[in-house]
Every structure is written in structure tokens, then in C-alpha cells.
Structure 1
Amino acid sequence: MTFDEMKARVAEGQGFIAALDQSGGSTPKALKGYGIEDGAWTTEEEMFGLIHAMRQRIIESPCFGNGKVIGAILFEKTMDGESGGKPVPHRLAERGIVPFLKVDKGLEDERDGAQLMKPNPGLEAMCNRARELGVFGTKMRSVIKSANPRGIKEVVAQQFAEGARILSCGLVPILEPEYDINAADRAEGEKIMLTAIEEGLDALPEGQQVMLKLSIPREAGLYTGLTSHPKVLRVVALSGGYSTGEACAELAKNPGMIASFSRGLLQDLRHQQSDTEFDGTLSTAIDQIHAASVA
């Protein structure tokens, strides 16, 4: 796919974006959920080899290329690896799936009810390399834990500032100011965040577009206006700790948002499953998430 074909696929595709970007500290947890315990590796390289094998199994599953998955978010080591004998971004594009890259370096300690992203001095170099490998866009995550206007505005401002750096490299950024779904004041805080996002979009130069990855809002339909904003290519939802069923039920209440699930996609996959069992389990999850995304 060309860049323009990828853009059209993301903007118009009737499907969802798979999040396959667990990295660093989240990898052991992801492997444990997959049925591989900590003692199964002795080095970090072996650990990443195991998670890459899991991702290869997903990417090569027949159901993953059935048109319902329109994009996939990758960890850097996954982007640099191969699947089906080809570089992962090329293999995904070959299957009609638009590749994205996770580019943040993790989170700062909490301040003002939020966690900003750590500094990322090498962002442009990573983006330029990703573009050469056929990647379409990026994803970066911050976390909001309370309705503190100062913290929320800082998170959103940082997301847009880093997004501008990514846009300058020719990639489309997914801005992800995740709101903790367990926060007691989430309904109030999400409205503060929405206002900050709208202000950030208004300040974007004409002709530029970003994507947004947001927690499914407490108030159904809160982000409907964002889904049709001319500077927003697509609004996607994270599962945020919900089970697959819970996330799909909540997502279906928000027309215009599509899924970008990790846990909601992978929670029932196990290393010990036969290929038939694995493909059937993955197919069931894909069908369920796809239905909620196009509801």
C-alpha cells in the first residue's frame, strides 16, 4: 500500500486497529497472560523472542488478514523483525493492515493527577527510520488519573507538541491521553480533556491531521464531535483494563469510535493452544471487536 492508500484505509476502513505494542516492563505480563511464565527465559533477548513469536502467530493467522483488522500498532523490536519471511511492516501492508509504531519512552512519575511522557530526544530519528520501513503512523501514551485541570492540560499539550514533531517527519501520530477508567471523577475530567483536545486541534495548521486514542468515555457519545473533526483522521478506543465483552459493550455505545484493543484482543490466546484452537479463539475476538467498532 502507498501512504495515500494507507490513509484511506485508516479513514474509511470498517474495522479496528490491533495493539501489539507491549514493551519493556509490560512484556512479562503479556507473556504470562499468554501462558508463558517468567522462568521460560533467562535474558531480555530471549523474552523479546518469545513475544515476537506470539506476534508472528497472530499476524500469520488466517483471520488476522480477513479485512476486519485495518491497522496494527507495533513495538520497535517487532517493526525490526520479520513475519512470513518479510519485514513486519511489509507483511502487514501485504495483508491490508496499516502499520503503526509505538514511539514513547514510558511515563514520568505522577504529578497533578497525571503522568507525562518521558523526554524523547531521538523521536525524529526513530520516525524517519520507521517511515523508510513502510510505517504509516505512530502511537504515544500518557495517563490521566484525576480531574486536575493543570495535569490534564499538560498531558494534552505534550501530546500535541510531540505530535507536531512526528508530523514533521511525514507520519501520522496517534495521540493517546489515556484516562484511567477507575478514576472516580472520570466523567468530569473527560470533559476537561475534551476541551483541551479541541483547543489543540484548532491550533493545528490547516491540512494536518492526527488520530486520537482515548478511553471509552463514561458519558456515551462524548467524543462524537471529534470523530467528524476535519483535523482528526480517526478516533480509536483503548480497552483500558476492560474485558473483551465489557470493552465491546461500552464501545458500541459510541458511534464513530473504533477499537484499538490489546488486552481485549489477546486475553484468551494461549501458547499451549493448537493452531486450530489459537486461530478460532483469535477469530472470535476479532469478530466481536469488529462488530462493536462498526455498530
Structure 2
Amino acid sequence: MNQEQLKRMQSGKGFIAALDQSGGSTPKALKAYGISEDRYSNDEEMFVIIHEMRTRIIKSPAFHSKHILGAILFENTMDRYIDGQYTADFLWEKKGIVPFLKVDKGLAPLKDGVQVMKPIDGLDNLLKRANERNIFGTKMRSFIKEANAEGIKTVVQQQFDIAKQIAAAGLVPIIEPEVDIHAQDKAESERILKEEFFKHLAKLDENVKVMFKVSLPTEDNFYSDLIKDPHVVRVVALSGGYSQAEANKILARNHGMIASFSRALTEGLSANQTDEEFNAILGKSIEAIAEASNT
């Protein structure tokens, strides 16, 4: 674990940019960026185009370490280059931004009100490659649709089991059990979820560090006690379907929590914009998200 990066993640100002759309979510991300599916004929062409979009974001003068602490990458992005350097090396060496890697393989079908992660085949090998590519931490997502205690317990158990494997490989895991923002019983799901977090945190070895990525909570400052736990590097929020403006508004009320937005970060960006237009819109978004994160 890079101690300089750990210190930055623990105490730095700013937020984490989620640039980790995977195979399933890439077409949607490209469509929002103004590139329709008829512009590419296979996955490789699609991944080349999304890497061009991510490169444009990362190289933008608006994308800098004053406001951005870290960036989450998709595996395909980790293996690609920006100006002759692996993406993670470019982020850290040129931009001072800490690189993370999305490691999950998507969600299993809904059961007991939740979607656990599909098995992550070849995880040990992926973590080995992540270390070789100078990745600091990982991210993995589950999904909670209703306040089913058994389902939520299963989600958290799976997240911590894999998190321990990731920590043993020298990386910092981001545990992400997203709660559906449209669920009628969202607050109850969050109550059960936090209770499970603390049960598992209490069993961790003293030196294990983790992060949490959660939906913006129903009750303001609901995760303030989680933020203070000695195992926890940072608690970050996903935008979860809120517009950027609404997500920022809720985030600003949650002191100590920072953003890790994906769709809300790239809102308004288009392939057809000039660099000047693109950088201006991205810069405005980054400043607004950073401001909401620094409360």
C-alpha cells in the first residue's frame, strides 16, 4: 500500500471520480456522451471509444488534484495507456490522483430483496495485475432494493469476505452496497446495513483499512459514526440516479462524506463539444461536486 496515497485518501480535500463503466453500462454512457451504438460494431471498438472519452476527461485541465482525490477505473482502462503511460501511472504521476479499480463482474439475479455480486473468477490474478499497474484500491458493487434483513446480511457478508482477500493483497477495498434511492423502506435498509457494517468492522484485524461507497442517506449525517471508525479510510457517496444538482445538495448536508459520482460527473458532456466547451462544463461540474464534498 502506497502510504502517500493512503494519507491523501484519508485527509485530502475533494472527491473520487468514478470512470468505471463496464461492458454492460458502456453503451449507455456513450449514448449520454452523444455516441450512438451504430458508431461501433463490436466490444473492442466500443472500448476504444470509451477510453478516448475517459482520456479526454483525465487530460482536461479541469481534472486536477485540487478537487479530485482519486479515480475508479474499469479493468479495460487499467490495461490501456494515456500518452505512453498506463492509465493509473498517468493519474498518479502526472495528475496526483489516486487510482482505484472496479473488480466486480456485475450483479446476480434479485433474491431476498437484494442483488449480491456474481462470482469474481480470477480475482487473485486480477489483484496481482492491479498491484503491477500501481493501483491503490478496488471497488465492488452490490444492490439493495428492500429492507430484507437476511438479504442485507448476505450482501455485507459477501462484501467483507472479498474485502479481506483484497486487503491481504495490499490494496484498499471500497465496499459498495448501493441502496435503491426509490425504495419505500430506504431508511430501514440503511439502518440494517450500518448495523451489519459495524459487526464486520469489529472483527477485522487492526491493520486492515477499508472504504465504503453508499447511497446518499435518507437521514443527514447518518454515517458520521462510520466515518470515525479507525478501520475506515473514507466514506464516499454515489449519486444513485439523482441529478448532479440534487446529489450535490444532499451531499453538502452530510459532513465528512465525499462524492464518488459517475453519471453525475459527466452530465452535460458531449463528443461534439469543442475542447473549450467540454473543459468549461467539466470544470463547472467538478467545482460544484468538490464544494459539496468539502462540507
| TM-score, structure 2 normalization | 0.98
1:88 paired residue number: 87
* One-letter amino acid of the counterpart of residue 81, structure 1: R
The Cα shift of 1:66 comes to 4.5
* One-letter amino acid of the counterpart of residue 200, structure 2: G
Deviations 1:203-253 (A, max 9, x none): 111111100000010111110001111010100000001111000001011
1:213 paired residue number: 213
1:55 paired residue number: 54
* One-letter amino acid of the counterpart of residue 13, structure 1: G
Q: Distance in 1 between matches of 2:83 and 2:245?
A: 31
The Cα shift of 1:84 comes to 2.5
2:65/2:97 contact within 8 Å kept = no
2:109 paired residue number: 109
Give 5+ residue unaligned stretches, structure 1. Answer: none
Give 5+ residue unaligned stretches, structure 2. Answer: none
Q: Using the aligned pairs only, state the percent identity.
A: 53
Q: Distance in 2 between matches of 1:59 and 1:101?
A: 15
The Cα shift of 1:146 comes to 0.1
2:231 paired residue number: 231
2:131 paired residue number: 131
1:60/1:84 contact within 8 Å kept = no
Query: How well do the aligned residues superpose, as a CA RMSD in angstroms?
Result: 0.8
1:289 paired residue number: 289
With 120-129 and 109-118 compared, the bigger mean Cα shift is at: 120-129
1:79/1:87 contact within 8 Å kept = yes
1:100/1:137 contact within 8 Å kept = yes
Deviations 1:31-82 (A, max 9, x none): 0000001101011100011100000000100111242101000000100111
1:114/1:146 contact within 8 Å kept = yes
2:251/2:257 contact within 8 Å kept = yes
2:179/2:186 contact within 8 Å kept = yes
Deviations 1:85-121 (A, max 9, x none): 2110000002110000000011100000000001113
1:15 paired residue number: 14
* One-letter amino acid of the counterpart of residue 195, structure 1: E
Residue 24 of structure 1: SS of its match in structure 2? coil
* One-letter amino acid of the counterpart of residue 105, structure 1: K
Residue 147 of structure 1: SS of its match in structure 2? coil
1:117/1:142 contact within 8 Å kept = yes
Residue 101 of structure 1: SS of its match in structure 2? strand
4+ aligned runs moved over 6 Å, structure 1: none
Does the alignment pair 1:250 with 2:239? no
Q: Distance in 2 between matches of 1:121 and 1:285?
A: 36
2:202 paired residue number: 202
Deviations 1:142-164 (A, max 9, x none): 00000000001100110000101
With 60-69 and 135-144 compared, the bigger mean Cα shift is at: 60-69
2:239/2:262 contact within 8 Å kept = yes
Residue 141 of structure 2: SS of its match in structure 1? strand
Q: Distance in 2 between matches of 1:177 and 1:66?
A: 27
Deviations 1:164-185 (A, max 9, x none): 1101111000000100101010
